[in-house]
A and B are shown apart, each in its own frame.
Chain A
Amino acid sequence: MSSSSATDRRLGIVGAGKMGTTVARAAMSAGYDVALSGSGPPERIALIVDVLAPGARAVTADEVVGSAGIIILALPIHRFRELPQDLFAGKILVDAMNYWEDIDGVDEELATAPLGTSVVVQQRFSSARVVKSLNHLGYYDFEEIRRPTGVVGRIAIAAAGDDRAAVAAVLQLIDRLGFDAVDAGRLEAGLALQPDGPVFGVRHGAGELSELLWAEASSA
């Protein structure tokens, strides 16, 4: 069941670090039921989840996948190949991972990916519906600058993916997390959201973000 209907407020997150726990908090305050997993057994992240994302559940990766139609990848990208290739079959998989040589070491495939790292992630998880998103702001931004829908000066987050229904579901998630949502187009447009890209690490409103992405797309 990969329902992402307007009433579905369930979210799975793989990775219970800075990013995973922060997104979990934001999602819970938007009324989501959140399940998180780390690389080991749930007990290893139980205290972290209890203190940093109280109310969320610490479970196994399989249980995360079973818990929701939308799953966020919030683990270091140099470790994504540890996950089974068919783990996310049919799921909307939000790739929030960035490749940073300073964190991930040298990885030729990721460093040179001409269509962006999310395309590499989609190739590996070929049965999942990959959407690149939630990667271009610092984790703490999810805490400090999210605002309810309609508030002036709201910051925007973009999503890129080939499965348009999956993108629509992620755009809705972004809005509920407290940000204006910008459709960046196809998955390879996610290249523009990566480190070194024109929007990475800077807070923009929706208009500005769309313009920057549009300028990037037309110069490519």
Chain B
Amino acid sequence: MTPESKGRDVNPEDIEFGLDTFVYASVDESGRAVDGDIVIRNTVEEAVLADSVGIDSFNIAEHYRPEMMDSAGHVMLAAIAGRTERIRLGTAVTVLSTQDPVRVYTNFATLDAVSNGRAQLIVGRGSLTESFPLFGFDLADYEELFEEKLDLLTRLLRDQPVTWSGTFRPPLTNQYLSPPLPEGHLPTWVGVGGSPQSVIRAARYGLPLMLAVIGGPARRFAPLVDLYKRALDAYGHAPLPIGMHSHGFVARTDDEAVAIQWPYWADIFEGAAAERGWARPTMERFQAEIADGSLYLGSPETVATKIAAVIRQLGLSRFDWAYATGRVPHEQRMATIELYGREVVPRVRELLAEPPAEPASSSAPATTDVGAASVQQ
């Protein structure tokens, strides 16, 4: 148990505040389904707004499902690039196991060029796995696929020309890919959901770590932060940034945020319960996720306070907020982005600039949980 995960100093100005979206097929304000093509154009508008209110990055997920329109996020990102100047454009996450790293490289190196150096990636698995049967891969090969594809992708990013061979695609011999990437462009993060093996892998490749916290308190991930630091050190890499992804919604008041988000959140989890055998959603669980879990939801002050606390607790350099879960109408998504950019993010930076409060009873430092557990019996 290393003491540094108690919250090392993070320079508030250097923290990246990103938005993540699954491009949910939304409803309109009267509850009618909105056509998918409109949803996609609406999402471009959401990104343009995010840019104008000072959010640092806009990151699109990858799914192949009727309720999500994010099957070709890079095309949307290119459209957003043409309408913005500053915001970084990325993925959350690229399901690398079922993609060809050569194609990932060419798409995103091109996006980097058209956006003047604003492209970024998170590669990982995501919690839904429909891309495996769709593209003819066996989920049981997940580990081997991800390892091999990450190996090729990092080679393409770092040392072209590449001579490479593997088992899932034809070999490459002295291969150059266009367009070339300027040094340091296309930062590529590894998304992990709690598996220590995945944390070790990110460290082995010397890639920054993105923790996906989609249920329960983030302090659970403190031991993984320690593991990542130890592993980076063991592999001879300098310290690298650590980020986190969680869901949420912000409105004028806590009650309003709960009232807007709850039915759509419940809808998603009812679907998951029916399809995947998960526990059915309850208001109690929703409230627990808000109070002491993975939902960053409420008034700007509530959300900012919670984000600042987790950034300190885990020593984060990036916080990606999956705004508005489920079929939330475009108008409400816009409103939440506006509040997030204009009020939440500046407030988080302000809170982080203050000296850390001495551990109050409510915010026990992360690693003592493990310690406390070990003396409990």
Contacts and interface: CB of A to CB of B under 8 A. Distances in A.
Interface of A: 16-18, 21, 25-26, 28-31, 38, 47-48, 50-52, 54, 78, 100-107, 138-140, 143-144, 146-148, 176, 178, 195-196, 200-202
B166 interface: no
A202 B196 contact: no
Interface size range on B against A: 35 or more
A29 B196 contact: no
B276 A29 contact: no
B277 A17 contact: no
B373 A29 contact: yes
B371 to A, nearest CB: 10
A52 B227 contact: yes
A30 B140 CA distance: 35
Interface in B272-296: 276-279
Contacts of A103: 129, 139, 142
A148 B369 contact: no
Nearest to B279: A201
B89 interface: no
Interface string B219-241: 01001101100110010000000
Interface of B: 1, 127-129, 132, 138-142, 194-197, 200, 215-216, 220, 223-224, 226-227, 230-231, 234, 276-279, 369-370, 373-377
Contacts of A26: 373
Contacts of B226: 51
B203 to A, nearest CB: 9
A79 B196 CA distance: 18
8 contacts: A17-B197, A29-B374, A29-B377, A102-B139, A144-B220, A146-B377, A147-B376, A148-B377
A9 to B, nearest CB: 12
A195 B195 contact: no
B197 A140 contact: no
A196 B1 CA distance: 37
Contacts of B223: 51-52
Given A48-B197, A143-B220, A102 B276 contact: yes
